[in-house]
Structures are given as C-alpha cells and as structure tokens.
C-alpha cells in the first residue's frame, strides 16, 4: 500500500458530514486529521454521531488550520462558494464539495470543479483537482438514463422518485418531524427540483440533440434513507436490446449493476451501489433505479471520487453490506 493521505471535513455535524466521517475512519489509506463544526466546536464527535462510540476520540474543531491532501465540504448549499471566496487553502489540497455550488460549472478563486459522477466521466475525475459531487436524486436519475443518452436514444422522460427523510438534512423542519413523516408521503418541488439543472447538463453533453426536459416529481418517503426512482420514456428497443445496452455500458463500473429481477431499496441502503431494473410495456421503456441517498448519493460517491483522484482502487473503503432486513 502507498502512504496514507490526510483528510479533513468542514461541516461535520450533519448527515453527510457524519457519513463522510464514518467512511473515512474505516478507509485503509486515509488519516482523518480534523472535523470542523462551528455549532459543535469542542464537543466529541460521539456527542452528535453516537454510532462512533469506540471508533474515534476526535473532537469537533472550530477552525481548519491543518493542511490536508483532501478536504470535504459538507456545508449547506451556497456556503461552499462563500467559504472558498473568503479562505485560501493550499494549492496542493484537493477539494470535494458535497453541496450544489459548483455542479453547473461555477468556479471560485481560481478553483475549477469537475462534475463527479464516475459512471459519466471517470477518466476526467482521475486528473481533477476539485470535485463537485452530484446530488442524490441527480445520481439515481442519471444512472438510469446515461446508457440511452450515450446511444442517442433519449426522448421525453417522465420520472418519479421517493427519498428518505435524511435527504432533507439534519435541521428540523415541519416535514421531518416523526409525527408528520410517519405513515405519510407527499410530493414537493414538482417539476422544479434543484437537481434538474445538473441532470440536463449531463444528458445533453452526451446527446446534444436531446432538447426536451426530464419531467421530475420527487416524493418524501416514510423512511430515513434511500432513494427509489422510476423513469419512463418511449423506446423502440426491445427489452433484450435495452438490457444489453445497459449491461455493456456499466460492465466496467463496479458499483452500478443491472438486475435480472425487480429491485428494492433495502438492497442498496448502507452501500455505494446503484441497482437498475428495466421493463418494457408496449412502446414504453421503464427504468427503475435505487441508491442510498447518503452513500452513493453523497458521501460514498465523494469517497469514490477521492479514490479515483489518488489512484486507489475505486472500491477501496466502500465494500459495504446492505441492511437487507
């Protein structure tokens, strides 16, 4: 094994911050140097992330003055751009932003960001200095559509997806109260979800003639983590042709798999996998995709990008077991 790299986290008290801590602590090639949180400074990580009792003695820091090889930004949307415009980090530090500040190609203080969806542009990620980690819904939807876009076969897409309550972040809201969320579902941000921009950007880069939209309706689910998405579009492909197209496209990608029977969300929760399953009814192709919103949809994909940048095996530290039951 090569020498360990050093890592830091800014914004470590939230859901994605905590998930990134867990993965880095168990990564054989990483030394986690600091976890910053203004709101929790001075407290042990275990006071917020109780599952880490016995795993670490680190405390939250108020500052981030230690140089590291890779810095993970687990901040609210808009905060990463503000931080990088006000704070100078060493040019040798790779930055992986888990927010949406740089997904559409924005830069700040001379730092350019590469969109970090490995199944879309793995080779470009390997040579990237900074990464804009994709959104959770964007990951699930795009992985269901990339093979069609690459083949120039996308038509108008209608997508519905349901996500767990952790997708809304740790800050308490009316729609994250247990009494509201339990035994309940509801749509939100109909056709206007913030991930649509990055989805359209990726798909049109693969299929420039795709001028239609992805018509997306997200739902809040009665569970804590996971995303299940179903996309529907017209297609002349037979089911056999579609499955062959998808399996060939993802053959070299270790985390995205095309299943031969119907998938469910528990197969992917607590893993960095995306599972896909295709159906064909009349002239409609139906693509189901499932991911864990905090792992493949956030922190796991960030670690996957880190592995690519530093030349590690892409799966290192990410061979995780699903909860199943």
Out of 9, 74, 84, 136, pick the active-site residue.
136
Residues 6+ apart with CB under 8 A from 1: 28, 29
Buried b (16+ CB within 10 A) or exposed e, 271-293: bbbbbbbbebeeeebbbbbbbbb
Residues in a beta bridge with 6: 31
Residues linked to residue 286 through DSSP beta bridges, in sequence order: 232, 279
Could you tell me the CA-to-CA distances from 205 to 111, 146, 199, 202, 315 in Å, in that order? 22, 10, 10, 5, 27
Contact (Cβ atoms closer than 8 angstroms) between residue 31 and residue 55: no
274 is catalytic: no
Query: In the chain, which residue ranges form alpha helices assigned H by DSSP?
Result: 15-25, 79-86, 118-126, 136-150, 178-181, 196-206, 239-249, 300-309
DSSP string for residues in 136-167: HHHHHHHHHHHHHHHTT----EEEEEEE-GGG
Report the C-alpha gap between 234 and 157 in whole angstroms.
Answer: 8
State the pairing for strand pair 94-97/130-132: parallel
Q: Can you name the residues that pair with 114 across neighbouring β-strands? A: 131
Comparing CA positions, the residue from 116, 113, 136 lying closest to residue 125 is 116
Q: Enter the DSSP assignment of 111.
A: B
Which strands form 157-163's sheet, in the order they lie side by side? 186-187, 214-220, 157-163, 227-234, 284-291, 274-281, 256-258
Q: Hey, which residues are catalytic here?
A: 136
């Amino acid at each position: 094994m090569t020498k360990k790299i050093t890592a830091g986290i800014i914004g470590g008290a939230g859901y994605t911050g905590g998930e990134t801590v867990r993965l880095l602590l168990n990564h054989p090639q990483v030394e986690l140097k600091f976890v910053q949180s203004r709101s929790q400074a001075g407290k042990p990580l275990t006071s917020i992330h109780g599952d880490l009792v016995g795993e670490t003695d680190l405390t939250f820091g108020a500052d981030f003055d230690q140089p590291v090889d890779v810095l993970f930004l687990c901040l609210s949307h808009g905060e990463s751009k503000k931080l990088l415009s006000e704070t100078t980090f060493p040019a040798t530090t790779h930055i992986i932003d888990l927010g949406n500040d740089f997904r559409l190609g924005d830069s700040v203080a001379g730092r350019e960001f590469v969109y970090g969806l490995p199944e879309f542009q793995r080779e470009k990620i390997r040579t990237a200095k900074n990464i804009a980690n994709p959104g959770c819904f964007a990951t699930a939807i795009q992985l269901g559509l990339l093979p069609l876009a690459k083949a120039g076969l996308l038509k108008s897409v209608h997508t519905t997806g349901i996500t767990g309550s952790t997708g809304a972040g740790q800050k308490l809201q009316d729609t994250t109260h247990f009494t509201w969320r339990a035994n309940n579902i509801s749509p939100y941000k109909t056709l206007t979800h913030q991930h649509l921009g990055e989805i359209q950007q990726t798909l049109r880069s693969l299929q420039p003639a795709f001028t239609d939209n992805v018509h997306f309706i997200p739902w809040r689910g009665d569970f804590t983590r996971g995303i299940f998405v179903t996309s529907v579009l017209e297609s002349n492909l037979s089911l056999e042709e579609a499955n062959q197209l998808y399996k060939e496209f993802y053959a070299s990608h270790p985390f995205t798999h095309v299943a031969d029977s119907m998938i469910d969300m528990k197969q992917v929760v607590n893993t960095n996998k995306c599972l896909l399953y295709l159906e064909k009814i009349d002239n409609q192709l139906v693509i189901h995709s499932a991911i864990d919103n905090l792992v493949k949809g956030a922190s796991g994909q960030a670690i996957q990008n880190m592995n690519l940048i530093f030349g590690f095996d892409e799966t290192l530290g990410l061979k995780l077991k699903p909860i199943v039951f």
